[in-house]
Structure formats: structure tokens, C-alpha cells
Amino acid sequence: MNMPQDWPEPIVRVQSLSESGIPLIPDRYVKPPLERPSINSTTLVDVNIPVIDLVGLNGDDRALRATILDQISIACREWGFFQVINHGVSHQLMDGAREAWRQFFHSPMDVKQAYANTPKTYEGYGSRLGVEKGAILDWSDYYFLHYLPSPLKDCNKWPTIPADFRELLDEYGKQAVKLCGRLMKALSINLGLGEERLGNAFGGENIGACLRVNFYPKCPQPDLTLGLSSHSDPGGMTLLLPDNHVPGLQVRKDEKWITVKPAPNAFIVNIGDQIQVLSNAIYKSVEHRVIVNSSNERVSLAFFYNPKSDIPIEPLKELVAPGRPPLYPAMTFDEYRLFIRMRGPRGKSQVESLKSPR
């Protein structure tokens, strides 16, 4: 199974559609009725994903550390999503990265087109996920780049506007990797394993990391489309820096769509398919999607912390027992990612289709 060298149809930039002032969205973006954002959607004031303060996670106060670990454990098992505050990443860096990307998306089209991507690697400026001809598309543009492993990191494919953009991105990546490493240790401990076990299953120091920056333009008919279709993340762990003014992320919980209300200076963390496989479904990746609106654009940064791409990922032997057999066959992340990229976002059907017959 090989990725095609080019997209099946000419690429249309969603931002250009939005800025053209069209009153109706093209049919290519109109979702089937049951997938539209008004279905089973709730924005209840008292419902939100957990917010966890990480102050003390690595401190000497054992009781406080145990409390934080317990909060993370409950969030992973009950939600698959949580927010973290006091996480150690500079707030100035977070704001700077988000606004630099906003500036990039408002650059002239010829500047952005110089970084146009192809489905072979997805790296660069893009406007669709999946290569199925005639597919219903999402109302968003994006930029995808590799951070780790080092041989895949090509700074020449990173934007240069504003002037210090590449240095900013590099520092953001360093701090994001460090935070993900801390969270991986917490997840590992909560599974009853040594704190390094989950990380070692990812490849130890040889993990993968990449960034997808999502740009969701204003939409004249937000009730008919989605910024990003329902999916679970194929990788290990996602660290999302949301728009600091406009909500849009929705998480599926008890067959309802919950609109996430971002806490100030927080990252949104979610479990990916690879951790679901390694944990033998003790932790589960969760469906989520993005809604758009007619009055405001949105920018978000999704940092993906992934296993080394060529090592087999399968349920850890410590989490397999006679009464709990392994639910998934071994598969490398490269193989799984190719499987996902061919099909595009499809709820939880991707990882569930891999379950071993019982």
C-alpha cells in the first residue's frame, strides 16, 4: 500500500473560499445529516473535560503527587482527554507560536503556496486529509511538519515569516517534547508499570514528534460542515494548544458531543490509538471533532508525540493475562499511519477494525 504522489483533485484553499464572500458553502463540504454539528451536541456550562494542575507532579510532596496521578488516571480512563495548567511551558512561547502561525496563514497566497504539500508525506501547507476521490472535505487548511526524529526534521520546509519563526518553532518543540515525556511517565505509573515502561515501548529517546497547525476560516454555513471530521488520533499522545479566544473542539462522551472550554494558558491532552493498543484498551483514544462558526476564525496547534515509526506496537505483556488476552496484533506506527492517511478521518472505526478476533 503506497501513498499517491499527488492529490486526486485540484486543491482549493478553504481560506480563499471564506474570504471570497460566498453565501453558501460548496457541496464538497456539506456533511451528511447525521454528521452535522447540531446532532447530539451540547455546550452545557457545567460540563467540561477535567482540568489538572501539574504543580507538584515532580515535587517532594508525595500526597500531592499521588493526588495529581490519580486525577490523570481518572481522566484517562473516563474521558481520554484532559487539560493541564502549570505545565512548565512558557506562556509567552505558547502565545508567540500561536500568533506567528496566525500571521503565516494571513500571508499572501504565493508565500503559502511555496510550501504546498503532497499526500506522500503531508509535510507543508495543505487543505485536505485522505486521498479518496470525491470525498466530503473539511472546512480547514493546515500546516504539517516533522520535529523528531532528527533525520526527518527539515527546517527548510518550515516557514520563515515572521523572521524568527524557525527558532520559535524549535523551542516550542523542545518544550512540548519535555512535557509529553513527563505525562508519559505519569500514564505508565498509573498502569502499574515502571515510569519508563510506556516511554521505552515508544522507542525510548527515539520517539517521533510532529506538529499540525489547523486554520479554521469563517464559514457562512457552519451548521452544515465541520472544521475537522470525527476521528481519534492515530499516534501516541496529542498536546493541543487551542485558540485562546474561540472554542471549537468537541469531544464525544456518552454519545453526546461536549464543546471543550479551554482553561487560560492550558494545553489539552488526549490519548491516541497507539497508547490504546499498548495499554490493551485500559486507556482509550476518544472521538473528537471541530466545529466552525460564521463570525470568527480559529487557529490551533496539535503536537503529536508518537512511537518510533518502525517498531511493532502491541499490548504490553504486563497488561495481558489469561482473562485479558491481547486485543490488537502488532503493527508499526508507519503501517498504521499509512492505513489512516489512505482513508482520512473516520471516527473510531480505524483502530477498532484492528482488534483481534475473539
Tally the domains of the chain.
1
In a domain, 6, yes or no: no
**First and final C-alpha spacing in the chain:** 27
Q: What is the pLDDT of residue 176?
A: 98
DSSP string for 105-138? HTS-HHHHHTTB--TTT--EEES--S--TTPPPP
Three-state secondary structure of 56-82: CCCCCCHHHHHHHHHHHHHHHHHCCEE
Q: How confident is the model at residue 281 (pLDDT cuts 50, 70, 90)?
A: very high
* Average pLDDT for 297-325: 96
Q: Is the peptide bond before 322 cis (omega within 30 degrees of 0)?
A: no
Helix boundaries (H) for the chain: 14-19, 62-78, 91-105, 109-113, 165-190, 197-201, 273-278, 333-343, 349-352
Quote the crossing angle between the two packed helices 91-105 and 165-190, to the nearest 10°. 120
Query: Looking at residue 281, which CATH number applies to its domain?
Result: 2.60.120.330
Quote the crossing angle between the two packed helices 165-190 and 62-78, to the nearest 10°. 90
Residues 272, 285: contact at Cβ < 8 Å?
yes
Tell me how many helices (H) and strands (E) the chain has.
9, 15
> Phi first, then psi: what are they for 346, rounded to 5°?
-145, 60
Q: How confident is the model at residue 132 (pLDDT cuts 50, 70, 90)?
A: confident
The whole-angstrom separation of Cα 327 and Cα 344 is 23
In a domain, 2, yes or no: no
Give residue 259's domain range. Answer: 14-354
- Dihedral sign, CA of 326, 332, 333, 334? negative
Q: What is the pLDDT of residue 129?
A: 84
pLDDT in tens, 159-209: 998 889 999 999 999 999 999 999 999 999 999 999 999 999 999 999 999
Q: How confident is the model at residue 43 (pLDDT cuts 50, 70, 90)?
A: low
Mapping DSSP to helix (H, G, I), strand (E, B) and coil, where does residue 99 land? helix
In a domain, 298, yes or no: yes
In a domain, 7, yes or no: no
In a 13 Å sphere around the CA of 299, the CA atoms on its Cβ side amount to 17
> Phi first, then psi: what are they for 298, rounded to 5°?
-135, 150
Q: What is the pLDDT of residue 279?
A: 97
Mapping DSSP to helix (H, G, I), strand (E, B) and coil, where does residue 174 land? helix
Q: What is the pLDDT of residue 354?
A: 59
In a domain, 147, yes or no: yes
Q: What is the pLDDT of residue 339?
A: 80
Q: How much of the chain, in percent, has pLDDT values that exceed 70?
A: 92
In a domain, 297, yes or no: yes
In a domain, 77, yes or no: yes
pTM of the model: 0.93
The whole-angstrom separation of Cα 121 and Cα 115 is 13
Burial class (CB in 10 A: 0-12, 13-18, 19+), 255: exposed
- Dihedral sign, CA of 33, 35, 36, 41? positive
Q: How confident is the model at residue 38 (pLDDT cuts 50, 70, 90)?
A: confident
pLDDT in tens, 248-274: 999 999 888 999 999 999 999 999 999
pLDDT in tens, 61-77: 999 999 999 999 999 99
What average pLDDT does the chain have? 92
Residues 252, 287: contact at Cβ < 8 Å?
yes
Residue 247 identity: P
